[in-house]
Amino acid sequence: MTVKTTKRRVKTSTGLKEYTYLGCPLTRNRSPWCFRLCTPDVEGHGHCGRNAPHALTGRIQAGILEYNKKQRAAHCKKLESMYLAAPCNEYYEPGIRVSDGEAEVVIPVQDKFLDSAGFVHGSVFHRAMNDAALFAANSIVPKKMMLSTGFNIQFTSTIADGELIARGRVIGTSDDHCLAEAVVLDSGGEELGRGTGTFVKSEISLSPEMGYE
């Protein structure tokens, strides 16, 4: 929305000069400070045309944001360690990368994953997608472990070799619940399936004993 600025003429010793009035166009208040009511544009300017103070970051706020960023990054690294430490993953030998609201699980295809027709069994697809979605959800929940309450999948293709690459991301949250989706790809980037799951925050605390370190 374009807000028309108000201009007036001021008489000075050198004659008449025009200037742009910088009061708040939302409140019609002429005070020099900002009431922080408008949403700044992409360049950080408010409706009045000035740099919006609430679009700028002070030292304290920047320090808090940087601290929180480091805490989230450390949390994601600990989740990666916890996932790889799980005894069940000795069978799948996966890799994982967790970031804020996202996760990627890579499972190398092995002969023990193949069915009678020589293709990867659907349970491995489910495992990869569910894990990617689950850890994407857990990335935004500190201190407690997230648990799956349901995960629906749809297959579009299958493979006999290479890697399964599952990418999960959070698409919604509500109270202690989280909705996340995942897509599984082959090594060439072709989609093999996708799924959506619901996850809930449990009472289980994340601890070094479970590999969260």
Residue 133's pLDDT is 98
Q: Is residue 150 part of a domain?
A: yes
* One domain, residues 110 and 16: no
pLDDT exceeds cutoff 70 at 22 = no
* One domain, residues 180 and 87: yes
30: left (phi over 0), alpha (psi -120 to 50) or beta: alpha
Q: Say if residues 180 and 170 touch (Cβ distance below 8 Å).
A: yes
pLDDT tier at 18 (50, 70, 90 boundaries)?
very low
Q: Is residue 116 part of a domain?
A: yes
Residue 19's pLDDT is 46
List Cβ<8 Å contacts ≥24 apart for 24-28: 24/48
Q: Is residue 62 part of a domain?
A: no
* One domain, residues 78 and 49: no
Query: pLDDT above 70 covers what percent of the chain?
Result: 83
Range 157-186 average pLDDT: 95
* One domain, residues 202 and 98: yes
- Helix 122-138, helix 59-85: angle, nearest 10: 150
Domain edge (last residue) among 56, 86, 103: 56
Measured between alpha carbons, how far is 105 from 164 in angstroms, rounded to an integer?
8
pLDDT tens-digit map of 39-72: 777 777 777 777 766 655 667 777 888 888 999 9
Residue 20's pLDDT is 46
Q: Is residue 64 part of a domain?
A: no
pLDDT exceeds cutoff 50 at 10 = no
* One domain, residues 113 and 32: no
Measured between alpha carbons, how far is 49 from 20 in angstroms, rounded to an integer?
9
Q: Is residue 68 part of a domain?
A: no
Q: Please count the structural domains in the chain.
A: 2
* One domain, residues 83 and 35: no
Query: pLDDT above 90 covers what percent of the chain?
Result: 66
CA distances (Å), origin 107, targets 86, 95, 143: 15, 7, 27
pLDDT tens-digit map of 77-122: 999 999 999 999 999 999 999 999 999 999 999 999 999 999 999 9
* One domain, residues 79 and 44: no
Range 139-149 average pLDDT: 95
* One domain, residues 123 and 185: yes
* One domain, residues 49 and 102: no
For 187, the domain range is: 74-210
pLDDT exceeds cutoff 80 at 179 = yes
Residue 65's pLDDT is 81
β pairing state of 7-12 and 95-99: unpaired
Q: Say if residues 44 and 37 touch (Cβ distance below 8 Å).
A: no
Q: Is residue 105 part of a domain?
A: yes
3-state secondary structure of 10: strand
CA distances (Å), origin 30, targets 2, 11, 33, 129: 19, 19, 9, 56
Residue 14's pLDDT is 53
* One domain, residues 6 and 83: no
Residue 193's pLDDT is 96
* One domain, residues 78 and 171: yes
